C-alpha cells in the first residue's frame, strides 16, 4: 500500500516537472546567397574577423531592437557564435562572387600574404520598428601601397514574416547585399 502511494506521488511529481520543462531551443545558422560573379579582384583576399557590437554577441536571436530595448525570439538560438558565423558566410558569399580569388579568413587555418584585406565592422543587425531588417556596417578594403577604400551603408529589407526562418532569410539577403558591395570595392579600379 505504501509503495502504491509513493509511486502515485512519484508519477504526479514527474508529470508536474515535465509540465515545467521548456522545449528544446531551435538552432539556426545563416547561409550564403548566390550573387553575380565578378572578375578582376585580387588573387588572395584576407577577410578579417567581423566586428560586432556587444548586444549582438549572444546565443539568442534578436527579433527587434527598439530605441532602448531588445526583444529575443523565444527558443531560437544561433548554432555558432554570430561573429564567427558572419565571417564564415561572408567568406562563402565573396568566394562565390569572386571565382578567380581565394578568400580566406584571418581566424582560419590558412596563412598567406594577401593581395587585399577586407575589414567589416557591423554596427547593427536587427529589425527596425517597422519590421524591416537592417544591417548597418562599415567596410574597409586595403591593398599594399594604396590608400584604403572605405564605405558605410545600410543593407536589408522587410522579412517575409515574423517567424525565425523569415527573419534569418532577411539577414541572409542583407549579408549578400553587403558581400555585393565588398566585391564591387575589390574589383573597382585603383584610384589615381
Query: What are the residue ranges spanned by the domains of the chain?
Result: 24-187
Helix, strand or coil, per DSSP, at residue 70: strand
Kindly list the distances between the CA atom of residue 35 and the CA atoms of 17, 92, 140, 178, 184, in Å, as whole numbers in the listed order: 50, 11, 20, 11, 12
pLDDT at 139 exceeding the cut of 70: yes
Instruction: Count other Cβ atoms within 10 Å, centred on residue 47.
Output: 24
The fold of the 24-187 domain, in CATH, is Rossmann fold (3.40.50)
Task: Determine whether 23 is exposed, middle or buried from the number of CB atoms within 10 Å of its CB (0-12, 13-18, 19+).
Answer: exposed
Tens-place pLDDT, residues 8-53: 665 555 555 555 566 788 999 999 999 999 999 999 999 999 999 9
Helix, strand or coil, per DSSP, at residue 63: strand
Q: DSSP character for 95? A: H
Contacts of 75 (CB under 8 A, 6+ apart): 22, 23, 24, 25, 26
**Residue 71 or residue 58, greater confidence:** 58
Q: What is the pTM of this model?
A: 0.85
Band (pLDDT 50/70/90 cuts) for residue 160 is: confident
**Integer Cα distance of 159 and 169 in angstroms:** 7
Phi-psi map region of 40: left, alpha, beta (phi>0 left; psi -120 to 50 alpha) = left
Backbone angles phi, psi at 144, to 5 degrees: -55, 130
Helix, strand or coil, per DSSP, at residue 159: coil
Amino acid at each position: 500500500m505504501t509503495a502504491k502511494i509513493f509511486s502515485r506521488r512519484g508519477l504526479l511529481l514527474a508529470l508536474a516537472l515535465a509540465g515545467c520543462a521548456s522545449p528544446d531551443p531551435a538552432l539556426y545558422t545563416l547561409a550564403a546567397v548566390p550573387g553575380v560573379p565578378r572578375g578582376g579582384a585580387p588573387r588572395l583576399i584576407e577577410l578579417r574577423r567581423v566586428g560586432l557590437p556587444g548586444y549582438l554577441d549572444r546565443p539568442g536571436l534578436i527579433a527587434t531592437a527598439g530605441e532602448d530595448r531588445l526583444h529575443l525570439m523565444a527558443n531560437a538560438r544561433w548554432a555558432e557564435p554570430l561573429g564567427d558565423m558572419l565571417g564564415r558566410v561572408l567568406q562563402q558569399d565573396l568566394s562565390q562572387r569572386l571565382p578567380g580569388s581565394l578568400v580566406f579568413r584571418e581566424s582560419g587555418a590558412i596563412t598567406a600574404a594577401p593581395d587585399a584585406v577586407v575589414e567589416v565592422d557591423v554596427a547593427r543587425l536587427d529589425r527596425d520598428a517597422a519590421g524591416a531588417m537592417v544591417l548597418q556596417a562599415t567596410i574597409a578594403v586595403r591593398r599594399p601601397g594604396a590608400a584604403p577604400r572605405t564605405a558605410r551603408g545600410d543593407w536589408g529589407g522587410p522579412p517575409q514574416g515574423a517567424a525565425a526562418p523569415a527573419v534569418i532569410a532577411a539577414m541572409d539577403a542583407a549579408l549578400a547585399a553587403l558581400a555585393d558591395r565588398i566585391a564591387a570595392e575589390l574589383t573597382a579600379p585603383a584610384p589615381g
